[in-house]
Amino acid sequence: MFLIIAWSTLILVIAVFTILVAKTFVMVPESATSSILFIFLAVLFGLGVYRMNYPLGIITIVGVAILFGCVGLGLLFPLKLKLMIWIIILMVYVFIASVTPVWLLLQPRDYLNSFLLYTLIFAAILGIVFTNPTIHLSAFTTFQTSQGALFPLLFVTVACGAVSGFHSLVASGTTAKQLDKETDAWFIGYGGMLIEGMLAVIALIVAASLTSERFREYLGSSGGGPIALFSECIGS
């Protein structure tokens, strides 16, 4: 029964994330170019570390510099494709990533991506502190709406460690196998959830700083969706 639940959860999350990312690529084609370049960079980084034995410090500096260069190239050369084409491309990528050795794609991709993440969190905290955004969202509205109850839909919508604990399922198959020693699990697992909790608070402040009309506009058919909402509001 547990395997059935785990499998169903994975299918649900992958499907939702595929649609969200595909819509983001359509609305923000610059991010599509950067993401594709980043995948190739991650593979080269993995080969450089594990096959060519380059020093981690030096190759990290080079990799991070190229990573931010990929972001710049994305702004210059946006890749515009239709939604269904992106969905197909993403599903092919999901399959390839699932059978590719961890050291070749997943690990170097997440390692390099962490530098973007920490930069974003640091910049977001500074932005919130110095801009002091006005909160427009009500502290409480209701637990019951015309679209259904808050529970358990909240834990389906927010499928991450901040609420649902989904990362515990994922980490058991990937993160656990990359630990140097068992005692590192506390620092990586607990520390990771603290950082994600911080990111969740930042996302909440971003959403709460918008008026209800502006919020619905972002989530509408032409607004770019939740990812565009978060990225554009953080950037502004």
Where are the chain's structural domains? 1-109, 133-236
DSSP string, 99-135: HS-TTTTHHHHHHHHHHHHHHHHHHHHHHHHHH-PPP
> In the 8-state DSSP scheme, what is residue 149?
E
**Token match 């084409």: residue?**
85
Q: How far apart are CA 111 and CA 106, in angstroms?
A: 8
Confidence of residue 215 (pLDDT cuts 50, 70, 90): confident
Percentage of the chain surpassing pLDDT 90? 37
What is the token pair recorded at 139?
């502290």
What pLDDT digit, counting tens, does each position of 102-121 carry? 999 999 999 999 999 899 89
CA distance between the termini of the chain: 46
Reply yes or no on whether the pLDDT at 49 is more than 60: yes
pLDDT (mean) for 85-90: 96
Predicted local confidence at residue 211, as pLDDT: 73
What pLDDT digit, counting tens, does each position of 123-165 carry? 989 988 888 888 887 777 777 777 677 776 666 666 665 565 6
pLDDT (mean) for 61-86: 95
Predicted local confidence at residue 194, as pLDDT: 85
pLDDT (mean) for 194-206: 84
Beta-carbon contacts of 98 under 8 Å, excluding residues fewer than 6 positions away, are: none
Reply yes or no on whether the pLDDT at 220 is more than 80: no
Predicted local confidence at residue 208, as pLDDT: 82
> In the 8-state DSSP scheme, what is residue 134?
P
Q: How many residues does the chain have?
A: 236
pLDDT (mean) for 67-83: 94
Predicted local confidence at residue 214, as pLDDT: 76
**Token match 């993160």: residue?**
175
Peptide bond into 152 cis (omega under 30): yes
